[in-house]
Chains A and B, each alone.
Chain A
Amino acid sequence: DIVMTQTPISSPVTLGQPASISCRSSQSLVHSDGNTYLSWLHQRPGQPPRLLIYKISNRFSGVPDRFSGSGAGTDFTLKISRVEAEDVGIYYCTQATQFPWTFGQGTKVEIK
């Protein structure tokens, strides 16, 4: 199985300041079709996860443009340009390049 490792585990941030989360996979996520099936999810307390970013850098419908994804191969980053109060919660990276699909352990974003 592909192991997804996120850093940091916890990220206290100041409102209006940027935040960054890293995700590293144990092997390349580049599929033979040329795509990289790396997504980012956000889960608020008591809520189901919601999709933010798919295929490294594509924002899902309705996701604010303060969220951006980047990376390639085995190293990926989610950036929030200016953190807002509604951005608190846990962020997960996930890969669907290879079965079984796997998730990072999550990064908790909280306001300082």
Chain B
Amino acid sequence: QLQLQESGPGLVKPSETLPLTCTVSGASISSGSYYWGWIRQPPGKGLEWLGSIYYSGITYYNPSLKSRVTISIDTSKNQFSLKLSSVTAADTAVYYCARHTCTNGLCSPGDHWGQGTLVTVSS
């Protein structure tokens, strides 16, 4: 059974970099049919797509984050990661990792999700 699990610090200081990792179990992250990505949800608010990555390293990012986002993948560990730089209080959110089923790079988002991890940006 496919499972995704986010890990990382629950508290990050303003201006620092937020690092999160998603560990995938029950399936290979190298499967050609899927992209893997990050979606966040500020407390009490809606969903925001941050970006997605293919096992080959192809990435797509949300331009609203103005190049602060980097997503990487480690197929040997069956993990992918998020780095969000120069964080502010506005980046406080539950961060979800998710799998997306895709054909030729076109996807239906979020067929499997992690439980999410709350990251608070505060000094």
Interface size on A, residues (CB 8 A): 26
Which listed segment binds A: B12-20, B21-29, B56-64, B77-85?
B56-64
Measured CB to CB, the nearest residue on chain A to B110 is A51
- Contact A54 B108, CB 8 Å, known A48-B113, A48-B116: yes
Contact in complex: A100, B64 (CB < 8 Å): yes
Encode contact with A along B94-123: 1 for CB under 8 Å, 0 otherwise: 001000110010111111011110000000
- Contact A96 B108, CB 8 Å, known A48-B96, A48-B115: yes
Interface size on B, residues (CB 8 A): 23
- Contact A103 B106, CB 8 Å, known A48-B96, A48-B113, A48-B114: no
Q: Provide a sorted-by-A list of 25 A–B residue pairs whose CB atoms are within 8 angstroms.
A: A33-B106, A35-B106, A37-B106, A37-B108, A39-B108, A39-B109, A48-B116, A49-B47, A50-B110, A51-B108, A54-B108, A92-B47, A94-B109, A96-B100, A96-B108, A97-B106, A99-B60, A100-B63, A101-B62, A101-B109, A103-B46, A103-B47, A103-B48, A103-B49, A104-B46
**Chain A residues proximal to chain B, CB less than 8 Å:** 1, 31, 33, 35, 37, 39, 41, 48-51, 54-55, 60, 92, 94, 96-97, 99-106
